[in-house]
Amino acid sequence: MAISNLQKARAAYQPKLPKALQGPVKAIEGAGTQSVGNQAEIKELFPNTYGMPVITFEPGEPVALPPFNVGIILSGGQAPGGHNVISGLFDGVKSLNPANKLYGFILGPGGLVDHNYMEITADIMDQYRNTGGFDIIGSGRTKLEEVDQFEKGIQILRELNIKALVIIGGDDSNTNACVLAEYYAAKKYGVQVIGCPKTIDGDLKNEQIETSFGFDTACKTYSELIGNIQRDCNSARKYWHFIKLMGRSASHIALECALQCQPNICLISEEVEAKAMSLDDIVTYIAKAVAARAAEGNNFGTVLIPEGIIEFIPAIKKLIAELNDVLALPEAQSITSANEQIEFVKQRVSRENLATFLSLPADVAAQLALDRDPHGNVQVSLIETEKLLSRMVADKLAVWKKSGKYVGKFGSQHHFFGYEGRCAAPSNYDADYCYSLGYNASRLIANGKTGYMSIIKNTTAPAAEWIAGGVPITMMMNLEKRNGKMKPVIRKALVELDGAPFKYFASHREEWAKETSYVYPGPIQYWGPTEVCDRPTITLQLEKAK
């Protein structure tokens, strides 16, 4: 395939590894674990993989292992660094025994069920080292939750003599990995399942997982674009730019980009919910900042908006929860027209939620009442929140202008940064982190572990000082309602309002709202000073107080 000069140069980059993974390892077991919630229920659902200890790897003595094969699946949305997880796993597996083979299942979990696979050879792997995207084998969103799927999977795993399966994905994908690990353990099929924490949204993290891979690169990519817009904004001085950023369930991306770029306004969904803000409260907050800058002669600015903010407005969140239940009803499944579905919803929601529904702009209300994603969630990326907010701000400013409360001119531009960040060439941080996650997964396999997630910690330190190991996936789980039913899922990590990153942002946002304090981060740097090229996110630095 044709490759760019950058890709040629990046192919020569050798990702850094923690010292513990640079040779043979021994596994140090910690205390037993329990799930973050619903302990009794999760233990009952996962009797074979519950309560296992956290694992930490330390340098050990060489152990000869017979040849074994490994399968790998990319699941869910793309995130920068996926190819490096695979290259780390490839090199790790080969280092254990050169006869070992790595098989990739094509287009996600569906490839396992449909027996669609390819062997990843050295020649193939070398074309994808340190590159963005998931195109080496593709990704997919097939959910692994049915016994028939598990049994079809074991057929091909046995045919290929695969000892272990590594699933690279977010919280839902790793929930599936946990379910699959439990099923194969219960059946004593002898196949291990290991997960790797991926999602640019940054909401797959906890005390054991410092960050999900891809978050660093995606935020740096978006911050470059935001910085470019801010520079244009500060040059033309005539537009307010409303910029929506990926992050359906959490505002980590918006917060990190705000820390990097210092926009005039950044909304944080979790704060909106905590303060029980209404849609009008949000609009008024933005309009006041616009009016204050206009009074200083500055009719321009930037507003960052998390993709899922509409779900965090308490009245709308309550409405959505009931809509999810209503649309999960059996009689709703046969509805074919949008108008019929909207009427169906209106007739079945409570009086309070109907009032909220009818108060929304017609296009937003319609979107809330229509199709869900495979997990039963509102498809918030289809709601043009950035346009909705700017439209409502314009209307409020027009009213204020008549009463003399506003003296400026208001023009707006709209942006949604999503796909732009999902397949970027990984930053040095993500290249190193992902390679380590993959290499570490090979050591979890070699030590006979299943139902574990590969983890790398202490990543604000130099890579040699990073800590490698594994955490039981059941440790992260609780029960949540999905498609009208309570199901075991990994708990998402939201922005903590008492955490250091948000506190730092909150202490500076009044200044940023009034002043033009823009920072222009520029493109990701791959060669040069360590403090420029290898730095982790500001979020992680503040969380680790470094």
- pLDDT single digits (tens) 270-311: 999 999 999 999 999 999 999 999 999 999 999 999 999 998
Query: Higher model confidence: residue 411 or residue 366?
Result: 411
Q: Are residues 237 and 339 in the same domain?
A: yes
Q: How confident is the model at residue 154 (pLDDT cuts 50, 70, 90)?
A: very high
User: Does residue 126 have a pLDDT over 70?
Assistant: yes
Q: What is the mean pLDDT of residues 525-546?
A: 93
**pLDDT the model gives residue 330:** 87
User: Does residue 367 have a pLDDT over 90?
Assistant: no
Q: Are residues 324 and 441 in the same domain?
A: no
Q: Are residues 462 and 527 in the same domain?
A: no
Query: Higher model confidence: residue 333 or residue 140?
Result: 140
3-class SS of residue 486: strand
**pLDDT the model gives residue 341:** 85
Is 93 inside any structural domain? yes
**Structural domains in the chain (count):** 2
Q: Are residues 206 and 230 in the same domain?
A: no
Q: Are residues 223 and 140 in the same domain?
A: no
User: Does residue 82 have a pLDDT over 70?
Assistant: yes
pTM of the model: 0.94
Range of the domain at 414: 215-422+498-543
Q: Are residues 205 and 225 in the same domain?
A: no
User: Does residue 221 have a pLDDT over 90?
Assistant: yes
- From residue 382, how far is each of 217, 235, 272, 313, 346 by CA, in Å? 24, 31, 20, 17, 21
**pLDDT the model gives residue 323:** 87
CB 253 within 8 A of CB 537: no
**pLDDT the model gives residue 375:** 61
- Amino acid identity at 355: A
Q: Write out pLDDT tens, residues 466-499.
A: 999 999 999 999 999 887 789 999 999 999 999 9
Q: What is the mean pLDDT of residues 368-379?
A: 71
User: Does residue 419 have a pLDDT over 70?
Assistant: yes
Q: Are residues 282 and 399 in the same domain?
A: yes
Q: Write out pLDDT tens, residues 167-220.
A: 999 999 999 999 999 999 999 999 999 999 999 999 999 999 999 999 999 999
- From residue 13, how far is each of 82, 427, 431 by CA, in Å? 16, 11, 9
Q: What is the mean pLDDT of residues 137-143?
A: 95
Q: Which residue has the tokens 């700017």?
A: 390
CATH (domain of 125): 3.40.50.450
Is 25 inside any structural domain? no
Is 31 inside any structural domain? no
Angle at which helices 338-348 and 314-327 pack, to 10 degrees? 110
Is 520 inside any structural domain? yes
Q: Are residues 310 and 441 in the same domain?
A: no
Q: Are residues 196 and 288 in the same domain?
A: no
**pLDDT the model gives residue 117:** 98
Q: Write out pLDDT tens, residues 2-15.
A: 888 999 999 999 99
**pLDDT the model gives residue 371:** 67
Backbone angles phi, psi at 422, to 5 degrees: -80, -25
Q: In whole angstroms, what is the distance from residue 8 CA to residue 128 CA?
A: 10
The residues assigned a catalytic role are 201
Is 480 inside any structural domain? no
CB 135 within 8 A of CB 96: no
Q: What is the mean pLDDT of residues 121-146?
A: 96
**pLDDT the model gives residue 379:** 75
Q: What is the mean pLDDT of residues 232-240?
A: 97
Q: Are residues 441 and 407 in the same domain?
A: no
CB 74 within 8 A of CB 139: yes
